[in-house]
Chains A and B, each alone.
Chain A
């Protein structure tokens, strides 16, 4: 064995998707050990939540997973609703499903695009991002914000769909699957991309389960686990959709599954728009200041990165006694040393990209 080199990647590096530092030990070009050093974006949101009222925490959850803000909103609101025993109107549940599936598309576009950028296909990133821009525009029409929505609130959503929004949304879902096919041909059909992604960072199903991986990372390895179907919440049992599964558990499967999930999300959105009926979008009779009885509650949803859970402890005051976010990206990122070992430095960035971490959520 030759002398080993230690290369420090990050914390600001084009392919760490935020502020991750990876200390890589290299033998030539082969990674013998990769250690992610996280916490560069640790803002102490869990501590901050302890000095905010239940409603004031919602904007903080936006900043957790900033690529998919709606999820953290929703997971937090579900935990609060469970704790305070709030029943959410049906229309609000439908709207939540619609916005979260749109958010899944937006988030996966970022994930797929950055996989492309990591392998050097920057144009694919642009094409993916153009689709994301459509979703962001829909959200802007919905709640005025492009990124941090603060839309899902305890008891419902902050406001009803604006006029004409449903038609815009249908127009988007009508064109999205064909755009996905184009992206599939551009990125995953490319011979070089296949060579770069296939067989790289193979994660076995057993490891995926044991390491607590979830979302596309686990499903890429063939772990058939999707909370929307297996631990159904909200109105998901009423929709007909498939859960795409990978076979090999390599970066290719992990990345490509995201693409098919977007197509499935379009189906869910279409069905939800069909079933959407007028009604309340926020539970009636909610107190201005929520003060649930003492106790603790946990709820989780299937976010774009996996099962995102929020654990809340109440002591009877209007502020949460403790909030813990079970972050899927945190658990998925823990796999990096396992996956990267034995691959080259070029593969390391691809593997990191295929895990699709968002460091707001990893570090919290």
Chain B
């Protein structure tokens, strides 16, 4: 299924998601409001996106952009879902109830970005030690143990 068919399919099934859809670098992208993320994810799962490929976040400076990559085996298509959360109240609904795959991936995002996922069954640090201070993938993470690489370019 190519990207236009995907857009048509999406628009016919869920018209309210249609205006949020755009195409970047050949991938379908759905930018939703953080409060509506869970509903949109649920709709997309019903549409046939049965695999959650990836959950990650990007620190854009003043806020976090959550990026979900969904895949559909039937449609042979992938789609991005993006949602932005404010930096000071970094919290979003968990999609673990829709895809169990989100369990560890959301834990990883929590560990490295400090974004809390409401409704996650077991939100703990996963990669770093339990007593780690800070969230390293934030752009403002400070750690005395980091030695900056000299700039060669």
Contacts and interface: CB of A to CB of B under 8 A. Distances in A.
Question: Within the complex, are A and B direct neighbours (CB within 8 Å)?
Answer: yes
Contact of A209 (B51, B80, B105, B126): B51
A326 B24 contact: no
B73 A298 contact: no
Contact of A39 (B26, B126, B148): B126
A133 B111 CA distance: 38
B128 A42 contact: yes
Question: Which of the four size classes fits the interface of chain B?
Answer: 35 or more
Contacts of A331: 101, 104-105
B70 to A, nearest CB: 10
A364 B148 CA distance: 19
A289 B151 CA distance: 14
Contacts of B128: 39, 42
Contact of A330 (B58, B59, B104): B104
A357 to B, nearest CB: 12
A211 B50 CA distance: 10
A300 interface: yes
A321 B56 CA distance: 14
B54 interface: yes
A38 B126 contact: yes
B52 interface: yes
B53 interface: yes
Contacts of A211: 99-101
B13 interface: no
A231 B76 contact: yes
Nearest to A364: B127
Contact of A225 (B73, B80, B103, B104): B73
Contacts of A51: 148-149
Interface in A256-292: 289
B142 to A, nearest CB: 13
B149 A83 contact: no
B25 A324 contact: no
B89 interface: no
Q: Which of A212, A289, A296 has most chain B Cβ within 10 Å?
A: A212
B127 A42 contact: yes
Interface string B92-131: 0000000111011100100010000000000001111100
A307 B100 contact: no
Contacts of A230: 73, 76
B128 to A, nearest CB: 6
A212 B76 contact: no
A280 to B, nearest CB: 24
B56 A212 contact: no
A207 B51 CA distance: 11
Interface string B65-78: 00101000100101
B20 interface: no
30 contacts: A39-B128, A39-B129, A46-B137, A51-B148, A51-B149, A52-B149, A53-B153, A82-B25, A210-B50, A211-B99, A212-B53, A212-B101, A225-B73, A231-B76, A231-B78, A289-B153, A295-B25, A297-B25, A298-B27, A298-B69, A307-B53, A309-B54, A321-B58, A322-B137, A324-B54, A331-B105, A334-B100, A334-B101, A334-B103, A364-B127
Q: Which 4 A-B pairs have the closest CB atoms?
A: A212-B101, A39-B127, A326-B54, A42-B127
Interface of A: 38-39, 42, 44, 46-47, 51-53, 82-83, 207, 209-212, 223, 225, 230-231, 289, 295-298, 300, 307, 309, 311, 313, 318, 321-322, 324, 326, 330-331, 333-334, 363-364
